[in-house]
Structure 1
């Protein structure tokens, strides 16, 4: 999701849709659990100071699972070596696997296009730190099919060059970096400030047919659009199943079967969604995120209140759990219960 809220659209659930959804949700509760190396579940952070709260959400009861956190690294963070090393040390203590999204600097209403020096500086900074895990996951920027994420312009060719350079540099470090591309906004249309996601990917591949050989995993922002409010039973590219459309596209275009991280997802808490959030999250966990190609899911965002992301926030401005928090943590608790039952 780009760093601005789209105009909200009103969505009404009809009686027939409600009936069908409830039937699907009932079936979801009996779905089997998939065995995974780590827990599927994570959360998206706004900054490095949120790990304790993330651990409370993701580890509601004592267990040995590792969970995931997505966190941005900006050029301004390069002065904060001690803060970032403390973050990674605490991540190890809390059994949280960091997914670090490379960012530049927000200026003149947009995130600036990275120079090669910017990319080298960001990766070099990360290479000097002690990480909690052997694999170091990095995301090469964000939703570049939005002009506001790329110096106010849409430029698939320039992003392709940046992705190639970043991937080559990271892999040459010998630090076991795992490179993820910028996720696309799957709800974006073709216009002056946005480009439809698959059109953008087409232009990347036309410019460099081998570009996706440079990345280790796919990265998806699969949101329940329109208005971040649709039911999880929807199946279009702009829904919670968005990543399935991306993986099918990649298979067709490259012949490669990608695994994916869903590093942003989730509903806005509003009058349409609020009473459904618990059922929505459980259905999604059982029928969508259970796809064996999904490595991790980090809904957006742990603490976005106060601010434009308050409707997505899992913790409110007073530090209290929101409806989002409770719905998602219930899913995590049920997942742990299933794992324990299987082990017994």
Structure 2
């Protein structure tokens, strides 16, 4: 006779429904990050943000365009992030059309969300930045539009969260130095108009992106304060306090000094001051200067690597601030299968093998075979 006794088996899988994002600073966090342009740069970036393994789990920021959804390529990138212990932050982008970036569509967001949700991520939080410097005309289809961006951001949050609650949604970093009304909208006006159009939009994002450049000329002293300095995130947060009660974590995904006007030694001193006095703010999660490598491109003045692909002098000072991060990793989700087990069978299963006879051991193997067959019938 079969008794109402159940034995629970837990099948551990590396996929399944996620539950929610986690506070990025709830556990030890390495603030160092770097902006990269290509997935194969992750190893070189890791050497800098993790200071050659003296630190762990720094960050890399990388753009992905709407025409670049190669699964093997991007899964390899995420696998390399896991191998090198760096946390990826992916900024979604459209495609360039002459002097400006195309406006995104609803279908772009759905495709991005489906594609990125199919990939295996190295950490529980899956960081997504929705576009870039959208208060500039050239970054938003030729004409900056706060109301349109607020709608688009709201849509992106809905679409990504419908795929997985582990997507950590970040709004676009703004160009806080933009002051030409013909080509841009002042950052504060842009935020005001976003809020006027969608009063809950800043409560819906999970974190805040800041482009904290030392302006003018990307060469201002590190100790100077202001809305266009390396402390510009403070101006952002002061503004946001009017719109939301959320204590938004800050992700500085672009910053850095130009070596066009400053020596590498001076830049190193500025980084030291910034990490000790400015970016030490506990609300700042990470700081990713732009850029690891410009090669021969227009951003060579910001590059951390020289034309011979070697670290510039200031990089050593930057890397000294690497620490051991310990982010929450993707959960191993439990699928519970309840199978009715007779009391006599339960007793056989719970008995140590060392005291079982050959006949009873054979019975136990038969029980496990039946359980295995049941699991296979459920999942396959």
Fold agreement, TM-score > 0.5:
yes
Which residue of structure 2 aligns with residue 44 of structure 1? 35
Matches within 5 A, 1:142-157: 142-157=132-147
Higher helix residue share = 1
Which residue of structure 2 aligns with residue 268 of structure 1? 258
Which residue of structure 1 aligns with residue 308 of structure 2? 318
Unmatched 5+ stretches in structure 2:
1-24, 325-380
Verify: 1:213 aligned to 2:193, yes or no.
no
Distance 1:264 1:209 in 2: 27
Verify: 1:253 aligned to 2:243, yes or no.
yes
Distance 2:52 2:265 in 1: 25
Which residue of structure 1 aligns with residue 346 of structure 2? none
Distance 1:68 1:157 in 2: 31
Deviation at 1:213, TM superposition (A): 1.7
Structure 2 residue aligned with 1:81, among 58, 71, 74? 71
Deviation at 1:75, TM superposition (A): 1.2
CA contact (8 A) 2:219 2:261 kept: no
Which residue of structure 2 aligns with residue 6 of structure 1? none
Matches within 5 A, 1:17-32: none
Distance 1:43 1:193 in 2: 28
Deviation at 1:320, TM superposition (A): 1.4
Distance 1:116 1:178 in 2: 19
Which residue of structure 2 aligns with residue 227 of structure 1? 217
Query: Tell me, what secondary structure is at the counterpart of 1:253?
Result: coil
Distance 1:316 1:276 in 2: 17
Which residue of structure 1 aligns with residue 63 of structure 2? 72
Query: Tell me, what secondary structure is at the counterpart of 1:139?
Result: strand
Which residue of structure 1 aligns with residue 230 of structure 2? 240
Distance 1:322 1:93 in 2: 25
Deviation at 1:35, TM superposition (A): 9.7
Q: Deviations over 1:68-106 (max 9, x none)?
A: 10000101211x210100000010011110000010101
CA contact (8 A) 2:32 2:321 kept: no
CA contact (8 A) 1:167 1:179 kept: yes
Which residue of structure 2 aligns with residue 30 of structure 1? none
Verify: 1:105 aligned to 2:95, yes or no.
yes
Distance 2:184 2:60 in 1: 28
CA contact (8 A) 1:235 1:241 kept: yes
Distance 1:159 1:35 in 2: 31
Structure 1 residue aligned with 2:299, among 294, 309, 315? 309
Q: 1:63 to 1:322 in 2, by over 3 A?
A: closer
Which residue of structure 2 aligns with residue 119 of structure 1? 109
Distance 1:311 1:262 in 2: 19
Distance 1:62 1:98 in 2: 17
CA contact (8 A) 1:136 1:175 kept: no
Structure 2 residue aligned with 1:277, among 259, 264, 267? 267
How many residues are paired up? Answer: 300
Distance 1:60 1:259 in 2: 24
Query: Tell me, what secondary structure is at the counterpart of 1:262?
Result: strand
Deviation at 1:149, TM superposition (A): 0.5
Distance 1:307 1:217 in 2: 31
Q: Deviations over 1:116-150 (max 9, x none)?
A: 00111112110010000111000000000111101
Give the structure-2-normalised TM-score. 0.76
Which residue of structure 2 aligns with residue 28 of structure 1? none
Distance 2:54 2:268 in 1: 23
Give the structure-1-normalised TM-score. 0.84
CA contact (8 A) 1:261 1:294 kept: yes
- Aligned-pair Cα RMSD in Å: 1.7
The structure whose RCO (Cα within 8 Å, separation 6+) is larger is: 2
